[in-house]
Amino acid sequence: MTDPDTVLPTISARERPAGAPGGWSRREFIKGVIASSATVSSVSYFGAGCAAPLPAQTGGVERLLSLQVNGQTRRVDVAPNETLATTLRYKLGLTGTKIGCNRAECGACTVLIDDMNHYACSTLTHRVRDKEITTVEGLESADGTLHPVQQAFIDELGPQCGFCTPGQVMSAVALLRSNPNPTRAEAQRAMSGNLCRCGAYDHYLNGVMRAAGATTMTASVDGGEG
């Protein structure tokens, strides 16, 4: 077999790189170039990995917040993109706020923010630092008496599996605070943002109307005593 090195002509003086030995063949020269390129590439690759990290940015979002929850000031460490549902459940232990769809569709995470019902799963905690937050745990009185809506839902057999119940309660409370004596159609519209996978919608509506009657009666009694 013919030696391939003898087939390739020797690099002439004009083609030979400066400082290259006169006896190099074309093949040896090409091999040397390839080896040199590989060495440079590996140094660049590993050098980039060992480079000193960039300095951390300063002036970020404040993480330690004071939240007004159920009439109390709660100090909590909150990430910039953290939702209120996550903060309430996993930082403050208020697990009555459920996470169902986690995309503002089912209403299981409903809480009150300044007496308005909101989906906690789509509300950033940093947006409510100056507002009053009420969860289902904050509805019962100090002696343990249930809120009229909670009691009415029990009386009307509203809860089935119970997962959606806290959100249903909070939406009903928000309705009765803004409209103490709604019609059934108004109550149905107000509760339309809360899904019940058990299909107990009529039970919950009956509970809203019962609670409306109870709150109206209580207001009348209080007015008469005044």
Q: What's the rounded Cα separation, in Å, for the pair 34 and 3?
A: 21
pTM score over 0.85: no
122 and 181 within one domain:
no
Name the CA radius of gyration of the chain, rounded. 35
Q: What's the rounded Cα separation, in Å, for the pair 128 and 117?
A: 13
User: Considering 109, 138, 167, which residue would you say is the last residue of a domain?
Assistant: 138
Based on the structure, what is the number of domains in the chain? 2
* Listed residue (94, 131, 127, 102) closest to 114, CA to CA: 131
Q: Which tens digits make up the pLDDT trace of 115-174?
A: 999 999 999 999 999 999 999 999 999 999 999 999 999 999 999 999 999 999 999 999
- Does residue 29 lie within any of the structural domains? no
- Does residue 204 lie within any of the structural domains? yes
Q: For residue 109, give the CATH number of its domain.
A: 3.10.20.30
Q: Which residue has the higher pLDDT, 113 or 57?
A: 113
Q: For residue 190, give the CATH number of its domain.
A: 1.10.150.120
Range of the domain at 206: 140-219
Q: Which tens digits make up the pLDDT trace of 62-115?
A: 899 999 999 999 999 999 999 999 999 999 999 999 999 999 999 999 999 999
